[in-house]
Every structure is written in C-alpha cells, then in structure tokens.
Amino acid sequence: MIRMFNLKDKVAFVTGGNGGIGLGIAKGFIGSGASVVLAARTRSKLDSAFSEISESGFGDRVLALECDVTDRSSIQAALDTSVAQFGGIDIVVNNAGTNKRAEEPHLLSEEDWQDVIDTNLTSMHSVTSLAFPLLKERGGGKIINIGSMTSIFGSPYASAYAASKGGVVQYTKSCAIAYAKYSVQVNAILPGWIVTEMTDDFGRLFPDRYAAIEGRTPAGRWGQPNDLAGTAIYLASEASQFVSGVSIPIDGGYSVQ
C-alpha cells in the first residue's frame, strides 16, 4: 500500500514552485521520492527555495528554473532543460497564479483583468499543451491544476480571480476526458484560505474580512502550504490511477457551510 504513494523515479514540473502552495507541494513530492523542477519568475525566490530544499539533503533532486508561464517560449525552454536534467516529465502541477482585487468588479481595470486571466488560466493551457507530449512519451502521467474555493463560489472583490479559477475546473474536466486514452489523469485541487504571500496582501487590504475567515472555517485556522501536499501526492501517485476530472477542496471545511 505504501508503494502506491511512492514517487521514486518520477519527475514533477511545478509552476510557481518557489513559494507558498507550489513550494509546499514540491517539498511533499521530494519527501515521497520524486525529483522536482521549480519553475517560476523570481530568481531570488527560486534561489531561496532551492537552498531550503538543499539544506534538507535533496539538492540533487531539485532544479530551479526561471520561467514566465505567460510566455510559451519560456515554458518550452524550462521543459527542455528539465528533460535534459532528469530525462523526462511525469507530473505537471499548474500552480502559478496571481490576483488583482477591487472593491467591486467594475472597478477592476481591463489590464488587471487580463493579467489575472493570462496568468491563472491561459498559462495553464500553455503549460499543459507543451508538457503533454512529454507525458505521452512516458506512457502516461499526472496533471494537477490548482484552482481555488472561488472555483466554487464568487468573490465580489476578486472577480477576475474567481472567473479564472472557475475556468480551471472546466479545463480540468475537458483535459481529463481528452487525455484518458493516453493514461494521463487530470485533476484539480481547490485550496481554501492558505497563508501565503498572496493572502498577506489580502489581509492588508481587507483586515476585517481576513480576521473573520478563521471564525467561519470549521478547522478553526487558516491553512498552511503543506496542508495540500498529501492530496497532491495522492493525485500524483499510482493510488489515483482511476481518478480523473475531479476537483478536491482543501479548505478546512470552509466551503461546506
């Protein structure tokens, strides 16, 4: 049974892997035996993430690459380097994302709307499209898309974010159907309120709402990035071979009430 969750000899490509949820998932993969590519834009955060993992003794199984997920040539270059280093790709985690907030939808600029859609949704299609041939070449694989609890319900102050994350669920279902014949399972994780750099910004903008979230969450706390690692390992492993097209909320029960 333990072997079902073993990721030994697997290679995972994690976008936005240099911090927050992406780094939490990457650490979980490494702990389960995988080699991991951290693909993200900010070099300083990549270096910090690489150092953190290396200090734990796994530096030989991590590769930190600058990658702009809104630029297909940058994605392709990162994938090419990953294959050259590790021999292939077995797991893709589409985690890179951003958020731009306004008190009401009509107050969000068109530029901010487009930036969120491009980063959160269009990039998912770009990464998946370029990585899929590598999974097919391996005879199968796993794609894990990171949505949000706003995939389930709306947000008046994060309309573009909610729209993009709603799209993540439908894109996940579409890919799950299309890629089943290639033994590629495609699923989504929908994080709730997780302590990250992105939600720190939310706390500064909406302190009253930030404080109220803990009271509504049945678990009685905000989540941590490593709270998502177990679900990601399951969806990346042989244990989920017959699971595809599902979206799993990881939110301490926030979305069920």
Could you give the number of structural domains in the chain?
A: 1
pLDDT for residue 101 is more than 70:
yes
Which DSSP state fits 154?
-
Quote the pTM value.
0.95
Do the domain assignments include residue 43?
Answer: yes
Do the domain assignments include residue 192?
Answer: yes
What are 122-157's pLDDT values in tens digits? 999 999 999 999 999 999 999 999 999 999 999 988
Residue 12 falls in which region: left (phi positive, over 0), alpha (psi -120 to 50) or beta: beta
* Residues near 48 by beta carbon (within 8 Å), at least 6 away in sequence: 18
pLDDT for residue 203 is more than 80:
no
Do the domain assignments include residue 242?
Answer: yes
| DSSP H or E segment with residue 93 | strand 91-94
**Residues classed as catalytic:** 161
Phi and psi dihedrals of 139, rounded to 5? 85, 15
Do the domain assignments include residue 240?
Answer: yes
Q: What average pLDDT does the segment 162-191 reach?
A: 98
User: If you average pLDDT over every residue of the chain, what do you get?
Assistant: 94
Do the domain assignments include residue 257?
Answer: no
Do the domain assignments include residue 253?
Answer: no
Do the domain assignments include residue 254?
Answer: no
> At 13, which CATH number?
3.40.50.720
* Structural domain that includes position 164: 2-248
Q: What is the pLDDT of residue 199?
A: 76
pLDDT band at 2 (very low <50, low <70, confident <90, very high): low
* Pairing assessment for the beta strands 62-66 and 91-94 based on DSSP bridges: unpaired
Q: What average pLDDT does the segment 228-254 reach?
A: 97
Residue among 254, 235, 256 nearest 246 (CA)? 235
Do the domain assignments include residue 223?
Answer: yes
